[in-house]
Structure 1
Amino acid sequence: MKPTPPGWPRLSSAVYCENAREAIAWYQRAFGFTVEIVVDAPDGSVMHSELRYGEAIVMVSEGGAAREARFGVTGRSPRLLGGANTQALFLYVDDVDAHCGQARAAGAQVTYALTENDYGAEYWTDRTYGCVDPDGHMWWFSQRLRNPSGG
C-alpha cells in the first residue's frame, strides 16, 4: 500500500487567510492554481479547500481574529501578525518569467526580483522570484535551468 492517497504528494501545505474565498480566487488568477474542492463551515466561511498546481496541493482556510482554535492551535494570516512569516511556499513552474508577470499583474508584491542563481556545476542553476500575496504569505517560484553535471 502506498503511504499517500492517489494523486496526493507526500508534502502539501496549508495557509490561513482572512477571507479564504477571495484568497482562492486570487491564487487562481495570480499563480495559476486550480480548485479541487471547497468545504464550507457552518458559518459560511471556508473550513477547508484544496488548490492544485501540477502535483502540488495547497490547502486554504479561514484564519482571523474571530476564528477559534482548530487542531489545538489558532491559525492567522501573516497580515494579522504584522507580516511575520514562519514558512514560505516554494513551487517549480515551467516559465518563471511569464509566471512572475502574471503574479505582478494580479497585485503580488515581488520582494525578490527574477534572478538566476547558479550554485555551481556540481549543483544546479535556477531562475527564481519571490513574492508576497495579499494575506502576507511568502511564495517562491523557480524554473530549473541546469541540473547538476554529475546527474
Structure 2
Amino acid sequence: MTAKEAGIMTAPTVFPALSYDDAPAAIKWLTGAFGLTEHFVAEGPDGTVAHAELAWDDGGMIMLGSTREDDTLRTGRCWLYLIVDDPDAHHERAVAAGAEVVLPLKDEDYGSRGYTVRDPEGHLWSFGTYRPASGT
C-alpha cells in the first residue's frame, strides 16, 4: 500500500523553479503581494540571487533565482496554480500590490473560486479553491 492509499501526508515532490531579471525585487513583490515567505536566499554576485526558496502555507515551495546572460535553462515565462482558502481576500491583497489581473475573480462551474494575475516580470499566477489532489 502506498502512502497516498493509506492517507498519509508526504512532503511535496514538485517544486516549480522560476528565473527573474530582478530576483531581489521579485522576492519582495511575491512575499508582499501573494503572502509567500522567504525560506532561504543565497545571494549571488552583484546583488543577484543565486538560489531562493519561497514557502507556501501548506508546505509547498517555489524556487527562484536571477536570470543570467549565459543561462542555458532560460525557458521564458510560466503559469503557476496555488490553493487559497479565501480567494476574495487574496485577490484584494494581490491587486493592492499592483498585480495585473488576467482572469478576474469568479466562481467556476466545477466548484472552484479563483483568479489569475501576472507578476511584474510576466509569470502568470492562478489562485483558487480547487484542490487537484482531492478533486474538490
Match of 1:31 among 26, 30, 34: 34
Query: Normalization by structure 2: what TM-score?
Result: 0.82
Deviation at 1:51, TM superposition (A): 0.1
Unaligned runs of 5+ in 2: 4-9
User: Counterpart in 1 of 2:70?
Assistant: 68
Runs of 4+ in 1 over 3 A off after TM superposition: none
Distance in 2 separating the partners of 1:22 and 1:43: 14
Distance in 2 separating the partners of 1:10 and 1:74: 20
User: Counterpart in 2 of 1:81?
Assistant: none
SS at match of 2:27: helix
Q: Is the 8 A contact 1:88 1:140 kept in 2?
A: yes
Identity of aligned residues (%): 35
SS at match of 1:58: strand
Q: Which of the two has higher C-alpha Rg?
A: 1
Distance in 2 separating the partners of 1:99 and 1:24: 17
Deviation at 1:40, TM superposition (A): 1.3
Unaligned runs of 5+ in 1: 79-84, 120-124
Query: Normalization by structure 1: what TM-score?
Result: 0.74
SS at match of 1:118: coil
User: Counterpart in 2 of 1:127?
Assistant: 113
Cα deviation per residue 1:51-110 (whole Å; 9 max; x = unaligned)? Answer: 01121111111015xx222xxx2426x5xxxxxx4x310000111000001000001001
Match of 1:57 among 54, 61, 69: 61
The count of corresponding residues between Structure 1 and Structure 2 is 125
- CA change 1:36–1:135 in 2 (3 A) is same
